[in-house]
Amino acid sequence: MSFRFRDRAQAGRFLADKLESCAGEPAAVVLGLPRGGVPVAAEIANHLGARLDIFLVRKVGAPGQAELALGAIASGGVIILNHAVIADLRVSPRELETLIARAQTELRALENHYRPADHAANLRGRLIILVDDGLATGATMRAAVAAVRERQPARIVVAVPVAARDVVEQFRTAADEFVCVQTPPDFRGVGQFYEDFSQTSDEEVRRLLARAIQPRQPIPAASGASSFGF
């Protein structure tokens, strides 16, 4: 049975209830994918007493075809390339280098925009919970998982409130654990399962990160929160 979350904060509380086994884990870091994943991640981090941070993924677009990805870059300097597409388009090494450099500049600007540079979490040997507000194609989250894996965490958990059923299996193998509140059969888009799916502002992302500079102690589950198994 599918249902609608009131907003991203409520979705985060439902999801936190399903991540109870991670509560009190001292090495846990909750990474929200900006912008919509951050309010969800903030609720989870607050409930688990874990550190909150963002994890940015930026697509490296093909020349003249910005929507076609040659690869992606992610927080921490990780670069993931689709060599088959690069070869098919005959992108030269120099041209590729220029495109990557441009994407890296944009990524650094975004990171500095959202939080101080010295706040970036060290992911090595840690339990990483990657969070977004939902998965439709899962492309951005796949890039995030691959990029986080490069930074040698102890374990990666992908956690989302809602996901299309046909992308779930991808993450059962890509991540160490996949946690989702609902995978409805009538999935047409993430926003379909929120009463309030208004765009998360940059100001809200910065505010949530500023409040989470220091980890908090776990707090009791929100009254009325429920778990839905799939």
User: Per residue in 162-221, pLDDT tens?
Assistant: 999 998 988 988 899 999 999 999 999 999 999 999 999 999 999 998 887 654 444 343
Residue 146 inside a domain? The answer is yes
Give the span between the Cα atoms of 42 and 113, in whole angstroms: 18
Each residue of 163-179: pLDDT tens digit? Answer: 999 989 889 888 999 99
Residue 1 inside a domain? The answer is no
Same domain, 74 and 35: no
Same domain, 99 and 110: yes
Cut 0.95: pTM above it: no
Same domain, 151 and 138: yes
Same domain, 136 and 189: yes
Range of the domain at 158: 8-56+118-211
Whether the Cβ atoms of residue 73 and residue 103 lie closer than 8 Å to each other = yes
Amino acid 7 reads D
Same domain, 107 and 142: no
Give the span between the Cα atoms of 140 and 117, in whole angstroms: 23
Same domain, 90 and 196: no
